[in-house]
Structure 1
Amino acid sequence: MAEDAAAADLISGGRLQLGISRGSPETALRGSESFGYVPEEGATDADMARDHAAVFRAAIAGAGVAQANPQMTAANGLLAIQPQSPGLSDRIWWGAGTRATAVWTAEQGMNLMSSTLLTEDTGVPFDELQAEQITMFRDAWAKAGWEREPRVSVSRSILPLIDDETRRYFGLRAQADAHDQVGHLDGGLARFGRSFIGSPDQIVAELSKDAAVRDADTVLVTVPNQLGVDFNARILESIAKDIAPALG
């Protein structure tokens, strides 16, 4: 994975923004264990994911990760991955599902990526809880003393109704999906963010009131990829031309 990431970054001219995390709760019971990823005794899958992330980040930063074979090379000690892509280390984002994980992300020096789901709930609207998560991340970043400015992204489900086809697919969902949802997930309460469905002007008005969107520097747009490339290209074009500029 580290070599693939470095190669992709070099090919793209240093434009790779790579998000990693322990993954979302899954329908399979301890599914990762089916592929050999079994936490050590007393550890959780989250602990294991953080350990793996540390190895990955060390590898892309140029640390030696594998012992040299003296029968195959004159090198001694640990070998680094090849190729290397300087600067990639600053473009790793951690997907944080809680405020506490956001603080940990800042302490590790990774950018914050927060999706449309938080695996905790305090009773406040989703955007306010996510904005609190962002504030805690930035406070922890400053406390850690990192020199560079961190980046923060939030994800939003944005579906502009721009023609008969988009209205047919999503028009009836507009009211039902216009509110947060709270449910039990991964052993506790979780809060799901609303969807933004409507005319571009309506979506602009609603997103401009979103506390987390205002605090973040990047918005990731989730789209219904099962409807195909052409459909999603029209949606993304509307977001790029009619929504994003109006939000600044």
Structure 2
Amino acid sequence: MKAFGFLSFGHYGHGRGPGDPTAGQSLHEAVDLAQAADEMGVNGAYFRVHHFARQSASPMPLLAAIAARTQRIEVGTGVIDMRYENPLYLAEEAAQLDLLADQRVALGVSRGSPEPALRGWEAFGYTGSQDPRGADLARAKFGEFMSAIRGEGMAQADPAQFGRPGLLRVEPQSEGLDRRIWWGAGTRETAEWAAAQGVNLMSSTLLTEATGDSFADLQREQIDRYRAAWKAAGHDWAPRVSVSRSVFPILTDEDRLMYGMQGEDDQVGIIDGFRSTFGKTYAGEPDRLIEELRADAAVEAADTLFLTIPSQLGVQFNARLLQGFAEHVAPALGWKPNTEGPVQGDPVG
């Protein structure tokens, strides 16, 4: 494991008491937690993106605020819902943020997760999808987004203004940002598609598949198929692969009271019309967590681990959770504190 970070779902409420922050409190706490994580040497701060819900939404203002308050930590998403995005405007925002953050941006994007709104992207003005879940719209926009990020010409120049015909790219450009884009994949086939696109793999917090295999084994097969497809595509650099887990180190009697009963097995249920597999929660003393996480086939195969955090419980609780994992669990999995900056994709060969 080269890196670990936290993944926040960004839930908020009405400010009626502990565990029920307002939207403003939630955003300020996210910045404070990212700053604390940066000081610990944690590698990344990532945020879910949802619409029409009391959760994190448009991520760029939050990521910019975090980048301004931190020095080394990677700032990113898990994931931006491409159905709701203007791909060229998103490419401009991403490049500007990356330049301001000194190349510390890592954006996870995908079709997005199930949401409260019925075809909510249409309310944002994006119509024409022939898929009830909008997957066709998301993939088409993703292609435009990646072309723009990679500096390809996207609009015809006006000869009267530009002096000659040709294609113009979006500006600014941030070198290397294309190698810090991830596709959030919930199936094995989608992971293979992501490999063909030449982007990193962010394996979903659930898989819309249920074969009887454990979540970890399903995810490991997804990762193996992704890497095989990457090799077959002939890309000239080694991608990153992330998985997400809920992990609660028990270090004190208070920890035992707080989440000593949190450990659970995989679950299978219906989501978005698919029979899906949800990963287990890990809770226990450090030695037990180390043993269980080493035995987790997907954690073993990935280079980056996202810890899903209960963001409503505040900065102090989550900072202590991250500190406990960083000090007592992560080093045994191969992790070292971040002292230089984000993990990069390596050249092949």
The alignment's TM-score, normalised by the length of structure 1, stands at 0.91
Unaligned runs of 5+ in 2: 1-89, 335-349
- CA shift, 1:43, in A, is 8.0
CA contact (8 A) 1:62 1:84 kept: yes
The match for 2:266 is: 180
Q: CA deviation at 1:118?
A: 0.3
- Taking the aligned partners of 1:205 and 1:168, their CA distance within structure 2 comes to 22
* Alignment partner of 1:207 is 2:293: yes
Q: Measure how far apart 1:162 and its partner are.
A: 2.9
> Which whole-Å CA distance do the structure 2 matches of 1:200 and 1:112 have between them?
28
Aligned to 2:134: 45
Secondary structure of the residue aligned to 1:17 is: strand
- SS of 1:141's equivalent in the other structure is helix
Moved more, 91-100 or 76-85: 76-85
Greater shift in the superposed pair: 1-10 or 158-167 = 158-167
Aligned positions of 1:1-248 closer than 5 A: 1-41=90-130, 45-68=134-157, 74=163, 76-174=165-263, 178-248=264-334
Higher relative contact order (CA 8 A, sep 6+): 2
Conserved? CA contact 1:111–1:152, under 8 Å:
yes
Distance 2:276 2:186 in 1: 9
Cα distance in structure 2, aligned partners of 1:244 and 1:224? 19
Residue 66 to residue 229, structure 1, CA distance change in 2 (3 Å) = farther
Larger CA deviation: 141-150 vs 197-206: 197-206
Alpha-carbon distance in structure 2 between the residues aligned to 1:241 and 1:75: 59
Contact 1:159 1:223 in 2 (8 A): no
Q: Deviation string for 1:48-70 (max 9, x for gaps)?
A: 10111111111111122234456
CA distance in structure 2 between the partners assigned to 1:130 and 1:216 by the alignment: 10
2:76 alignment partner in structure 1: none
Gaps of 5+ in 1: none
- 1:143 to 1:26, Cα distance in 2 relative to 1, 3 A: same
Would you say the 8 A contact 1:131–1:215 is kept in 2? Answer: yes
Cα distance in structure 2, aligned partners of 1:117 and 1:86: 32
Q: How many pairs were matched up?
A: 245
Q: How much identity, in percent, do the aligned residues show?
A: 54
1:82, distance to aligned residue in structure 2 (A)? 1.7
Offset at 1:72? Answer: 6.0
Query: Structure 2 vs 1, CA of residues 41 and 134 (structure 1 numbering), >3 Å: closer, same or farther?
Result: closer
Q: Distance in 1 between matches of 2:100 and 2:188?
A: 35
Partner SS, residue 58 of structure 1: helix
> How many angstroms apart in 2 are the aligned matches of 1:34 and 1:96?
25
Cα distance, 1:160 vs structure 2? 1.6
Whole-angstrom CA distance in 2 between matches of 1:164 and 1:37 = 51
Alpha carbons 1:21, 1:95 under 8 Å: kept: yes
**TM-fit CA distance, 1:161:** 2.4
Name the amino acid aligned to 1:61.
R
TM-score normalized by the length of structure 2: 0.66
1:71 CA drift (Å): 6.8
